[in-house]
Amino acid sequence: MLKEHAATTATESSHGRMALIFDFDLTLAPSTLDALVRRCGMDPETWKRDRIEPLRMEGWDEILAKSYALVRLSRSGDVRITQDLVAEVGRNLEPYEGTLDMFESMRRTAREVAKDVNLEFYVVSSGLYNVMAATSIARDLDGLWGTKLHFDDQTGELDFPMLTVTHPEKVRYILALCKGLDPTGPNAPAHVYQDVPGDKWHVPLDQVIYAGDGSSDMAVFRFLHDRGGIALGVYKSDQVEGWSGMEQVDPQRRVQNLARTDYREGSELMQSLTLAVESIARKIALRRLSRGE
């Protein structure tokens, strides 16, 4: 008979950390871009049609087109987009109902299953970082990445996008945070793909939950599906049609549940998040047991 724990080298390594990663715009709160454009006195849909679509037709990347259109708006003389104005937009942006209570609820859920488990929260979004960082949500986040704007040192006015996060790049950011690497360092993005031993990862990919609102998250859904993570889809009550036709996409890009953006206790989304957190916490508890911890 084998001695106690003699076979532990045959079991998986144990990590006591898990990550709940969100998109931001239309997932945790309304669109950061729309909120900023509205604060500038313009209708977001009209502005996008008149200012962004022509750039896209010229071949511009969508995220760069949005940033450049903001720069042109600020330079037009109609409104000055400053760092203070953008921060004001963030402070006034209301998260979806129940969002702020969700963080501690999920931490409590994880701890009830696996004592001392560390649940971390992240945002990886193409939305405006400078707006997101000023919201009430930011204080609960362990990391936040988004399209970052640069402001002139002298005038304080918006002058250029400093960093953009395109939809396919979300996978790179998630891989970097899971490996414990900086996705925006001087050698990015290549260094994100360097080999890191499994026991040195910050968070294993199969201990990751991701929630996003649609087509911009498809690459992440596929990535996590292939690596044992959990993907959840969310939608506003009046925008569920945005998910229509999803049954025709690659089955590996599908989510494990689709729920309305309602973070109040007892909602379908909170039930989905709770079950996902419990599932991974139980996996952590099992792995700890297998290692004799």
Please state the rounded mean pLDDT for residues 32-43. Answer: 97
Rounded to two decimals, the pTM is 0.90
Please state the rounded mean pLDDT for residues 220-245. Answer: 78
Using the predicted structure, report yes or no on whether residue 185 has a pLDDT greater than 90: no
Q: What is the pLDDT of residue 14?
A: 56
Q: Which residue has the higher pLDDT, 168 or 238?
A: 168
Q: What is the pLDDT of residue 188?
A: 66
| Element (DSSP H or E) covering residue 161 | strand 158-163
CA distance 139 to 81: 24
Q: What is the pLDDT of residue 6?
A: 43
pLDDT band, very low/low/confident/very high, at 182 (cuts 50, 70, 90): confident
Q: What is the pLDDT of residue 5?
A: 45
Contact 165, 172 (CB under 8 A): no
Neighbours of 216 (CB within 10 A): 20
Percentage of residues of the chain with pLDDT beyond 90: 67
Half-sphere exposure at residue 123, Cβ-oriented, CA atoms within 13 angstroms? 28
Q: What is the pLDDT of residue 40?
A: 96
Please state the rounded mean pLDDT for residues 155-183. Answer: 90
289 DSSP β-pair partners: none
